[in-house]
Each structure stands twice: as C-alpha cells, then as structure tokens.
Structure 1
C-alpha cells in the first residue's frame, strides 16, 4: 500500500502522509494503511555517509620507525625524462617526504629498495614498519622477500579507504 501512497502523494514526509490520511485531507484518496517507513528509494535518498572515527594516535618515537608510501596514478603528460608515475615515501616521525618519478610501475620495487637502503645507511637505523595501500606494486614476491630480509613489517590499509593512509595522501 505504501507504494500506492507515494505514487499519489509523491515522496512526502511520512508524518505528513499520516496527517493527510487521519484528517482525510485529500478528496478521493482511498483509505491507506502505512505499515513501513517508506520505499527503497526513500531509504537510499535519506542515507548519509558515516565518517571514520579518529584512530587513537600511536606515538612514533624515532625517525624510520614508520614509513608511509603510495604510488600515484600516471599524470596525463610525461615529464621531460619520459616519466609519468610518481612514488611518494613519507617518514611518520619527521614528515620528511621523498618523491621519485618513474617511467613504469614495474620500477617501483627498485626505487623502494634503493631508497630504503640509502636512508638506513645515512641514519644508521633500520626501518621498522611501512604502511601502504594494498597494491600489486607493494605486494609482489620481491617486495615481500626484501622486507623479510630487512626485518620490515608491511602494513596495508583497507582498499578504497584513503582516510587510513592520510599521511601520504595529503
């Protein structure tokens, strides 16, 4: 019966329809019994986005304890060296950011390895954890093997949830 009511009265507020029915305010309106709160379209139209709750801040004690990394989609125009992808790498403690430009996504592992070894040698400390999106570039066998050898824990954020990797997304 509800769909019949919405067809006649449009997508009017539920309480207004109840008042119209109880006061018999519309001539020729057959008696309607409103049992549920609306049709599927009404429910979808009234949905709101639920926001992610802020996570409890984990205190990072030193440089290289946690690194965030992300591969940005290709730019429309290549740079003068023919590179169209870029790889961003951020230290959580210092917020120091490295950006490497790449020709192909396949170059990601080599750039990652070079950057990790370079930073570890310069700071004389080891990277403890890295956090990234769950992408093929960061979850291949070479990447996993290198992290195991270096003692690096790889954490992946949930797919299609940039809020979880906000440090590198900004």
Structure 2
C-alpha cells in the first residue's frame, strides 16, 4: 500500500495531510486500555513515571491508571542498552529544568541558533547565561562564537577531544531523547525522515514528565510556575483531522482534511 505525505505543517499542532487509499492497517492508534493509551501518548514514558505523575498530581488532565504486567515491545527495541559500569560517585548539585531543542539545517547555523536561544531564556527567566559547556566542534569554536561569548561575559568550558563523559548531563539527555524517538518511530513503522517531529514531541512530553532535578513537579512547572495540562496529548503518528478555513475552500469542499499527528511547535 502506497502512501503520500505532504509535509506542510499547520498552526500550532503539526499535522501533515495524508493521501492514501486505505487506512485499515496504516497508522492505526486505537487503544482502549487507559494505561497503555497514556503510555503511548507520553512517548513511551515508563509506567512507574506515569504512576508518579498521577499520584502526585503533577499535571492537569491525567487519569487514574494501573501498571500492566505486559512488556512494551517498542520500548524494548527503542531503549535497550548495555549494563552500566560501576564508577565512583560524587556529590554535584544540578539545577536541570526545562528541555530545549535548537534545530538548524547546517552546523554553521549553530551560532545564530544559540543567540536566539540566549535571548529567549534570559527574557523568560530574568537571568543571564554565565557558562556554556560544549564539545570542540567547529560550529562552537568559530571566531564569531568566541567573540560573542567574550562580549557577553559567558565563560566557555570545552570538553577534551573524544571525551563525552565530561559533558555527561547533556549526553544522558540526548540518550533519553533518542530512546523515546526510536520508540515513537517503531510503533507504526513511521519513516525515519520524521525524526525532527519525533524529537520535538519528545521534548514537549519530557518537559511534562517527572525528573530527579526538581521534586514533586515537572520541568515545565519549575520553569514557568504553572502546572501543565496534558489532556491535549495524542499518540504520535495517529490519524487526525485538520479544519480547513472558509477562506481556503469552496462551498462544497470538505471542511476537514485527514492528516497525521506529529508534534507541537
């Protein structure tokens, strides 16, 4: 069965028009069990985490769920990893709140993306960025990047070559995001070309999930001061219908267009 997707995002919720002959087995997301439904809506977040969100009332619009005994196959194929090596522990205070993604087509756009990110977070928080830790990629070590950080009083911390362990927090977050992305794409065999949308949805979900960095609240609440609502969550890749405005259709044209739900901006 062939399917054609017109990659044209619409409004705040990203929906992509879908042109197929039959949807009998394509991208079907009918789930009757609430526990499994919200496991899928939350991008395959583990059931223990979902239960904690519900018990501590960390979000609005989350129902009562139970922890099932079955294993989620998409979680197995998307999150499987080697056992950790034992290492010495040390105390380190971290204030890691909201998750952000900076997307750009070319690595050369990293500087522009960082300037935009800096302006946004400093305006939202009223605080300034003091330290920036990155690897030694050329996109982070350009002259204009260095001069900008010097002018803004931002101290640079560059990791040693081939030593991602020195930026462990970032590496761990990348792993969490990619695990969720793999699980999202695996469920309905969604094309890997939709990985940017899967990343955006994963970030949206993780900001409304529990974390060890802040207690009894989600990163979104810690960042904005408002308890987030999750009753708008849908399963990534499910069939959705977008309303066609009067200005874009004739009198007898369909008022809705079949799409695939992918993410929120």
> What TM-score comes out, normalization by structure 2 length?
0.31
Structure number with the bigger relative contact order (C-alpha 8 A, sep ≥ 6) is 2
Q: Which has the larger radius of gyration?
A: 1
> What TM-score comes out, normalization by structure 1 length?
0.47
Q: Whose strand proportion is higher, 1 or 2? A: 1
